Structure 1
């Protein structure tokens, strides 16, 4: 089994994005909803600005909407949390493999973007888990692939430094050895383009990503077996316990007054279900 990174594709995508952003100015760019302030929490969890680091190609949790603005379930949750705590909100799209450096340097306050907490507990201080998730495999509907056994000799792709990559190289390593190759790429949108074109045979990804990509389409199908089950949480710099607890309490309040259910219903067509919400 070979492991290969789609570096040329990722580099091309990054170059195109950079050129587009340069040509278009600040749309979309880091969204600063208010004046600049400190992104670092003090011992009591007090901040002036909540700077959210997120992957802008991770629908339905964080992405660029049709209007060119950043949107998504997690970004709307973050915006409401900031509003209720009188924080300014700054949305900061990041390179996923740079997230730790940005968080530890104080460039971002948190990682809030369908962020799996399992296996990362020693590296971050997390809010309470707020959403149930799983790692799954998606194939083309006409591929003839029906089970994990059928992935033998196939090319599987996932996002670099993702929970799916971690489980395929960890608990499910025996399965991975049967693949022709396990490839990684910078974002899932491009991974699904590779699947649609036939460049790869399967995409390993979050359940929410699979549901979003399959919504209203008959092009793909999800295998019944799951690679793992897990939970989404907001990731903070190690030691930012008071701030993590404050965000958890605010999310609980948002659930109690119906905000969370209404938001989940808004994204229901994108595969989001309030049944998977955990903070009650």
Structure 2
């Protein structure tokens, strides 16, 4: 109980001082279900939409959503097109060199391979992955031939059309493709990569980062973050 009270008090103190502007702009991809995607009305939806809205409510901030292609999502944060990234971005040492992260809002995620056959050689064949992801880095480290695409849907399409032997991505992303299509199957063992997912900020925005970290901590402490994880990311371990 004391931890929750202290976390709430810190959140209230930092929220008022975090911003000079009236609205915090949250950048996301809008193309990586179930984390983030565009619904039939063209609005951002998914796990991170619900999470981001709740974090903004707890921090007493007015927020708006901005979509951006994945391959330029960090450069456009740095150039000021939005104030934070909340887009399924795993925390890694390489990314820490250019952005600051909040506390993670998921534990380390299981990544997985999917293919048209279970006997595919994922370490010696051609494996598709989205550009700039921890999965792309992992594929390169295994000795497989990496085939990169800017959009996650294209990595799955590459397997179906024969360009790639397998695709590697977050298991939660691949699950809907495997469960809803007879042609794709999971291959091999899951692989834990990264330090979990966090929000990314410009290194000059320490107060804003601390404000959102306090909101994330408060959701961990009252169990509401685990509820969202169970709802949207059933293959992800809870806190």
* TM-score of the superposed pair, with normalisation by structure 2: 0.81
Cα offsets for 1:132-182 (capped at 9, x unmatched)? 23463423252422xxxx23552211111112123334xx2xx22xx3x31
**Match for residue 45 of structure 1 among 18, 21, 38:** 18
Alpha-carbon deviation of 1:209? 2.1
Match of 1:168 among 120, 126, 139: 139
- CA distance in 1 between partners of 2:71 and 2:200 (Å): 15
Report the count of equivalent residues.
223
Given that 1:57 and 1:64 are in contact with CA atoms closer than 8 Å, whether structure 2 keeps it comes out as yes
- 1:140 is aligned to 115
In structure 2, distance between residues paired with 1:68 and 1:43:
32
Cα distance between partner residues in 2 of 1:86 and 1:42? 7
Does structure 2 conserve the Cα–Cα contact (< 8 Å) formed by 1:54 and 1:62? yes
Report whether the alignment pairs 1:71 with 2:35: no
- The TM-score normalised by the length of structure 1 is 0.70
Distance in 1 between residues matched to 2:152 and 2:128, nearest whole Å? 9
Pair 1:203 & 2:167 matched: yes
Are residues 1:235 and 2:200 paired?
A: yes
Structure 2: tracts of 5 or more residues without a match: 1-13
Residues 159, 107 of structure 1: alpha-carbon distance in 2 compared, 3 angstrom cutoff: same
Does the residue aligned with 1:132 lie in a helix, a strand or coil? Answer: coil
Q: Please state how far the C-alpha of 1:217 moved relative to its aligned partner.
A: 5.0
Residue in structure 1 matched with residue 3 of structure 2 by the alignment: none
Aligned to 1:256: 221
| 1:193 paired to 2:165 | no
Give RMSD over aligned pairs.
Answer: 2.6
The alignment partner of 2:169 has SS state of strand
Matched, 1:156 2:127: yes
2:118·2:186 contact (CA, 8 Å) conserved in 1? no
Q: Where in structure 1 are there 5+ consecutive unaligned residues?
A: 1-40
Structure 1 distance, partners of 2:213, 2:123, is 42
Question: In 2 relative to 1, CA 210–276 (structure 1 residues): closer, same or farther, beyond 3 Å?
Answer: farther
